[in-house]
Structure 1
């Protein structure tokens, strides 16, 4: 999967400084949140720095494609503004790393993907599956919106704002894709450090997990 992940030229033109470190984790043994994953979230909250310049860089990126970051916040901005609830051990792990490192991180069930992940400017007719009022529903991105997608539709809207239902990580997820996204002035060595800490926590959850990474940068 990693060798087929792509970032469209239109996105690179919008933010030439964008880089994403993609990580696959195969053979996960996930489970409900526990004392260890709650401690990760608590420690991350103590270390969070909402004034980190990386957060503002993402707000600027949202404005560049027409989104209003005070209304639909970049994922890391939203996480830093609230107490992050425990979801399951793997989600808790990457949410904690996201807050601690001021870094947007997407976590997806790669078994639910249809074709490779790619970051594109939306046409506006792509399907995005959600739950509305307790019922399955389909929405569509705005034309020009930056989205992650696969062959079946949008997997995450507004770059890293909200993921679809289909690819969410659950306690039954065995194989996952993580997308760690950075903009200037975020150092690449800090990006790699975040990936290393995420890998360590995934191995704590699942000692036999098989992890591979790929950096896409220009």
Structure 2
């Protein structure tokens, strides 16, 4: 499978970069108490932070709003997923545990202030490309409705779009039957390559410490737009 960032993305946002992690032989199950506790504690601490400062003071949220605007989308109408999570927590509408893969994905998103997605590798068809959604791009999302993705970053395989830093699709959702997954960290554009690599590897190591299996991590950016992962 080849994963590629569309070259035209860098005309609008030259420093755009993503962390890609390919997991194999993982076990997805109810999260251990340690992860449930960390996720709950982080949300409670974040709630108090959000009482004292506005969302605009969080650099990750600010940067992803800038990406939205650079691509022609309205961040006040279609919010980056990390901002949507922060807004939930501001209302004390905390995220309930789901399973280990989703809980870790949410934890990374909250901790690093970035959108993040995780997808069942076996539900993907052919190669994957990160591009900008056109007027026809959209899918049934995990939010329970159809989502139009024009002018928003989309991940698409050879069948259809399936993921986005806005909301992900039902089609490629990870379940407790998933044994192979692709995780995409939509990194802050301002993050330098060395720290982007450290962050991506740290996320991969934490994931496999809980879910087992193997992880292969990459960072894609303007000078390295593609990578091939094993079938």
Q: Which category of TM-score, normalised to the shorter sequence, fits these structures? A: 0.7 to 0.9
Q: Assess, with a 3 A threshold, how the Cα gap between structure 1 residues 94 and 22 changes in structure 2: closer, same or farther.
A: same
Name 1:95's counterpart in structure 2. 106
Name 2:129's counterpart in structure 1. 118
Q: Assess, with a 3 A threshold, how the Cα gap between structure 1 residues 78 and 140 changes in structure 2: closer, same or farther.
A: closer
Cα deviation per residue 1:106-125 (whole Å; 9 max; x = unaligned)? Answer: 11111100112211122322
Q: Assess, with a 3 A threshold, how the Cα gap between structure 1 residues 73 and 212 changes in structure 2: closer, same or farther.
A: same
- Candidates 145, 148, 152, aligned match of 1:145: 152
Name 2:52's counterpart in structure 1. none
Alpha-carbon offset, residue 139 of structure 1: 5.4
C-alpha distance in structure 1 between counterparts of 2:197 and 2:190, whole Å: 15
Q: Assess, with a 3 A threshold, how the Cα gap between structure 1 residues 190 and 43 changes in structure 2: closer, same or farther.
A: farther
Q: Assess, with a 3 A threshold, how the Cα gap between structure 1 residues 86 and 189 changes in structure 2: closer, same or farther.
A: farther
Q: Is the 8 A contact 1:105 1:181 kept in 2?
A: yes
Superposed, 1:126-205 pairs within 5 Å as 126=137, 128-130=139-141, 140-142=148-150, 144-156=151-163, 159-205=164-210
Q: Assess, with a 3 A threshold, how the Cα gap between structure 1 residues 131 and 8 changes in structure 2: closer, same or farther.
A: closer
Worse-matched range after superposition: 63-72 or 40-49 = 40-49
Alpha-carbon offset, residue 101 of structure 1: 1.5
- TM-score, normalising length: structure 1: 0.84
Alpha-carbon offset, residue 34 of structure 1: 4.0
Cα deviation per residue 1:113-154 (whole Å; 9 max; x = unaligned)? Answer: 011221112232245234787xxx765532x43311111111
Q: CA RMSD in A?
A: 2.4
What SS does structure 2 have at the residue aligned with 1:29? Answer: coil
- TM-score, normalising length: structure 2: 0.80
Name 2:216's counterpart in structure 1. 212
Unaligned 5+ runs, structure 2: 50-54, 223-231
Unaligned 5+ runs, structure 1: none
C-alpha distance in structure 2 between counterparts of 1:184 and 1:131, whole Å: 26
Aligned length: 209
Cα deviation per residue 1:7-40 (whole Å; 9 max; x = unaligned)? Answer: 1122121111101111000011111234222123
